[in-house]
Amino acid sequence: MVLKRCEVCINDEGTARIEEVNGRFLCSECIKQLPHLPDPEKVRKELDEFMRGVDRAVLAFSGGKDSIVALHLARKRYNADIIAVMVDHGLMSEKAIENAKAIAEMYKVPLEIMRADFTDIFRDAIRRCESPCSRCSDRTMSLLRQYAREHGFRYIITGHELPFGSSAVRRMRGGIYQIRLLAMMPEQERMEILKRIGVELPELPGYTTNCLVIGVAGKLFCRKYGFSPEHRRLAALVRLGLMDRKRAEEMAKCPEPTKEQWNKVLNKLGIRESEIECLKTGQREFVSHESRGTQNTGGGSGVAKN
Binding mask 39-78 for Zn ion (x = CB under 5 A): ----------------------------------------
What's 52's DSSP letter?
H
Query: Of residues 11, 99, 178, 208, which one binds Zn ion by CB under 5 A?
Result: 11
Closest to Zn ion by CB, 6 vs 68, is: 6
Query: Of residues 6, 91, 179, 216, which one binds Zn ion by CB under 5 A?
Result: 6
Least Cβ distance, residue 235 to Zn ion (angstroms):
6
Can residue 240 be called a binding residue for Zn ion (CB under 5 A)? no
Can residue 237 be called a binding residue for Zn ion (CB under 5 A)? no
Can residue 8 be called a binding residue for Zn ion (CB under 5 A)? yes
Count of CB atoms situated within 10 Å of the CB of 53: 8
From the list 10-18, 47-55, 107-115, 250-258, the region that binds Zn ion by CB under 5 A is 10-18
Can residue 30 be called a binding residue for Zn ion (CB under 5 A)? yes
Instruction: Print burial letters for 242-251: b (CB count within 10 Å at least 16), e (below 16).
Output: bbeeebbbeb
- Strand order of the β-sheet with 56-60 is 111-115, 81-88, 56-60, 155-158, 177-180, 169-171
Count of CB atoms situated within 10 Å of the CB of 287: 23
Q: Looking at residues 140 to 159 of the shown chain, list those that interact with Zn ion (rule: CB under 5 A).
A: none
Phi first, then psi: give them for residue 27, nearest 5 degrees.
-85, 165
If we measure between CA atoms, which residue out of 202, 201, 204 comes closest to residue 265?
204
Strands (E) located in 66-181: 81-88, 111-115, 155-158, 169-171, 177-180
Least Cβ distance, residue 10 to Zn ion (angstroms):
7
Closest to Zn ion by CB, 6 vs 69, is: 6
Residues in contact with Zn ion, total (CB under 5 A)? 6
Query: Of residues 14, 15, 18, 27, which one binds Zn ion by CB under 5 A?
Result: 27
Closest to Zn ion by CB, 193 vs 248, is: 248
Closest to Zn ion by CB, 27 vs 91, is: 27
Least Cβ distance, residue 28 to Zn ion (angstroms):
8
Amino acid identity at 251: M
Closest to Zn ion by CB, 9 vs 58, is: 9
Least Cβ distance, residue 68 to Zn ion (angstroms):
30
In angstroms, the CA 51 to CA 173 distance is 20
If we measure between CA atoms, which residue out of 61, 51, 67, 77 comes closest to residue 194?
67
Amino acid identity at 2: V
Q: Is 24 helix (H, G, I), strand (E, B) or coil?
A: strand
Closest to Zn ion by CB, 65 vs 233, is: 233
Least Cβ distance, residue 208 to Zn ion (angstroms):
24
What's 77's DSSP letter?
T
Least Cβ distance, residue 226 to Zn ion (angstroms):
17
Interface contacts to Zn ion, rule CB under 5 A: 6, 8-9, 11, 27, 30
